[in-house]
Structure 1
Amino acid sequence: MSIHSVRREQCHLAWDNSIPPAIRIKSGQTVTFDCVDASNGQIDASSTVATLGSLVFSRLDQVNGPVYVEEAQPGDTLQVDVLSIETGEWGWSALIPGFGLLADEFPEPELKIWKLNKDEGFAWFNEAKGIKIPLRPFAGEMGVARGVKGSYSTIPPYNTGGNIDTKHVTVGSTLFLPIEVEGALFSTGDGHAAQDDGGTAIETSIQVTVRLTIRNDRPYTKTPHFSTTASDKDEEYYCTTGVDSGSTATMSAVRHMIDFLCTEHQLKRTEAYMLCSVAGDLRLHEVVDMPNYVVGMMMPQSIFGGSS
């Protein structure tokens, strides 16, 4: 099997179908991407919260590539088989003013540097309290170039993928992306060591290896689809809910979980909010009895009470 590679410096900060490909491959071949973290190297293991004030936001969320797949034509589907993901030795999480679901309630910056125990597959959130987070690495950004001309930010997701931030697209999973340009022009990046459904992550550098295959038998692939073998494996959760309109119910569910964590586990509100972002799961429980939704914030109980 032919293996190709994309280096760290072969990256770009926008989805633009005029960007020259970093490499060209044939359908079914394998590519390894060496990706720096989402800060583009602006945060390192010695950074403090003061570093957040000097972040250049236009440099965030770069992706590596693009990869031109020779057989790809508009209307085809790109099958992305995730074969392996290796994280760095450390990662970071941040509360950045103006960002996040409860941005108005958390106006002060906060930065956490994590040491990633890759051998045992976890990182301590708070060792004294016995709270540790299982490492479930994935690439937050996986996408192909859009068919429309122009430069489009890598921050939002599109129907062609990009910043889909889907934790289930990890090793053993398969992502399907609709191709809009010749060659597909696939790129990836934004490594995460762990993340909840819909929050921020433990940001980290990654080496990710994928197999890229052109499919012309999936005309129904109009947005990112994926298949995964991930399961909860009888995990016990504590769930808080929000009952209201969609976005309001979501915020309410998170607020209730923050209150629970502060009371039951003696966390600061900033700590509790960060823990929700890296370990909790936001899920729709009920959407048919309008105008209200029931949204749950589910916290796995296995992260508590760990021993060092």
Structure 2
Amino acid sequence: MGRVEYTLVPDDTTLHGFFDPDAAPVLTIDPGDTVTFRTLDCWWRTGAQPGLDPSLWERVPQHRTGYGHALIGPVAVRGARPGTTLVVNVDAVVPGAYGATVAGGRPTPFTEAYGLLDEYAVLDWTLDPAAMRGVNQFGHRVALRPFMGVLGMPPAEPGRHSTIPPRAHGGNLDLKDLVAGSTLYLPVPVDGALFSVGDGHAAQGDGEVGGTAVECPMERVTLTFDLRDDLPIGGPVVRSGGAWLTLGLGDTVDAAMYQALNAMFDLMGREHGVKRAEAAALASVAVDLRITQIVNRTVGAHAVLRDGVLDA
């Protein structure tokens, strides 16, 4: 049987604002199948219209219990079980026509550090997915590089879990390199995987320092799923743009950084057959270390090893 293609749109059966290992899947697929999603923005809207009111940060849809990011799913993958690795190939990410960015005006450690508890800015973006450009009401122009902020699976522990902190099995990673053409590898925490996606970003810098990117609905997010049982990983690993990326998560940037580097040393051992001390020495020459995001309670860092850097 060839690959099967499915479509999921946001409605009362597919939308949820939490991760839950006991949630019933809205779709069950086989490895190799493709799903195209249409997603809402982080404020649960189909289109981020100009004039975003910062009070939307506190506006919870009354019919949504456990409100968080507007996720679509969950999708079960036959054969997925703890000990296997879910492979998510990002085939396409097409944003909608509008986006918004908000900074300041809410009590968070980073807005306090910036002195912006009582001051805020709202940028309204008009997006051109064909030209891959966005312009805001002040005339600032940015290149679009759309990706999904949340791709992941629920923790194995019972109950509903917040969508805000990223976890080893994915979630709110906010890694700007997860663009079309990239591949995300995640350790499976529960039988069936129960994968969900949401939180579209049309553009973002490393760190997502203001707390939001160009938040937007996505017209089309096409993902192809596979499984591997020969790739033991403890956290997210990514192939993107001719490079390997290993992600680390922690309460501090230091903790996230060391986790990302330890995962990179493991990867270098698998890919290049080097011992751990040699991997650390080579990484000091060939690996770039970056901050993924600092705004999701659990912060993220990622290590980057570009193809050919050890074969120059």
Structure-1 separation of matches of 2:236 and 2:177: 13
Q: Residue type of the partner of 1:190?
A: D
Alpha-carbon distance, 1:132 to partner: 1.5
Q: Sort the Cα spacing of 1:120 and 1:127 in 2 relative to 1 into closer, same or farther, 3 A.
A: farther
What's the counterpart of residue 38 of structure 1? 42
Deviates more, 1:84-93 or 1:51-60: 51-60
Match of 2:21 among 2, 17, 23: 17
- Are the counterparts in 2 of residues 14 and 153 from structure 1 also a CA contact under 8 Å? yes
Q: CA deviation at 1:73?
A: 1.4
Work out which of the residue numbers 163, 173, 177 in structure 2 matches 1:154: 163
Determine if the alignment matches structure 1 residue 26 to structure 2 residue 30: yes
Q: 1:125 to 1:43 in 2, by over 3 A?
A: closer
Deviation (angstroms), 1:197: 1.0
Contact 2:84/2:187 (<8 A) preserved: yes
Contact 1:75 1:178 in 2 (8 A): yes
Aligned pairs for 1:151-190 within 5 A? 151-190=160-199
Counterpart secondary structure, 1:101: helix
Contact 1:39 1:59 in 2 (8 A): no
Give 1:191's aligned residue.
Answer: 200
Distance between the aligned counterparts of 1:143 and 1:50, measured in 2?
Answer: 27
The alignment status of 1:75 with 2:77, answered yes or no, reads: no
User: 1:213 and 1:53 mapped to 2: Cα distance?
Assistant: 36
Q: Superposition pairs for residues 155-304 of structure 1, below 5 Å?
A: 155-199=164-208, 200-206=212-218, 207-219=220-232, 221-229=233-241, 283=290
Q: What's the counterpart of residue 96 of structure 2?
A: 88
Q: Residue 189 of structure 1: CA displacement? A: 0.6
CA contact (8 A) 2:151 2:195 kept: yes
Contact 1:81–1:173 (8 Å) recurs in 2: yes
Distance 1:117 1:202 in 2: 13
Distance 1:208 1:52 in 2: 25
Tell me, yes or no, if the aligned pair for 1:126 and 1:132 is still in contact at 8 Å: no
- AA aligned opposite 1:28: G
RMSD: 2.5
Compared CA separation, residues 119 and 216, structure 1 to 2 (3 A):
same
Deviations, residues 227-275 of structure 1 (Å, cap 9, x unaligned): 10168xxxxxxxxxxxxx968xxxxxxxxxxxxxxxxxxxxxxxxxxxx
Size of the aligned set, in residue pairs, is 235
Q: TM-score, normalised by structure 1?
A: 0.70
What secondary structure does 1:39 align onto? coil
User: 5+ residue gaps in structure 1?
Assistant: 232-244, 248-281, 285-294, 296-308
Report deviation, 1:145.
2.1
CA distance in 2 between partners of 1:35 and 1:154 (Å): 15
- Which of 119, 137, 152 aligns to 1:143? It is 152
Residue 60 of structure 1 deviates from its aligned partner by 3.6
State the partner residue of 1:239: none
Q: What letter corresponds to residue 145 of structure 2 in structure 1?
A: R
Alignment equivalent of 2:127, drawn from 103, 116, 129: 116
More strand by share: 1
Q: CA deviation at 1:43?
A: 7.6
Q: Which residues in structure 2 correspond to 1:2-13 (within 5 Å)?
A: 2-9=4-11, 10-13=14-17
Deviation, 1:126, is 6.5
Gap change, CA 1:184 and 1:246, over 3 Å in 2: closer
Distance 1:173 1:48, change over 3 A: closer
Per-residue CA deviation, residues 176-231 of structure 1 (Å, 9 max, x unaligned), is 01001111111111000001112120000112100010111112x11111010168
Identity across aligned pairs (percent)? 33
Partner of 1:63: 71
Where does structure 2 lack aligned partners over 5 or more consecutive residues?
244-251, 255-288, 292-300, 302-312
Partner SS, residue 195 of structure 1 = coil
Structure 1 segments (4+ residues) deviating >4 Å:
125-128
Q: What secondary structure does 1:191 align onto? A: strand
Distance 1:99 1:16 in 2: 26
8 Å CA contact 2:123–2:137 kept in 1: the answer is no
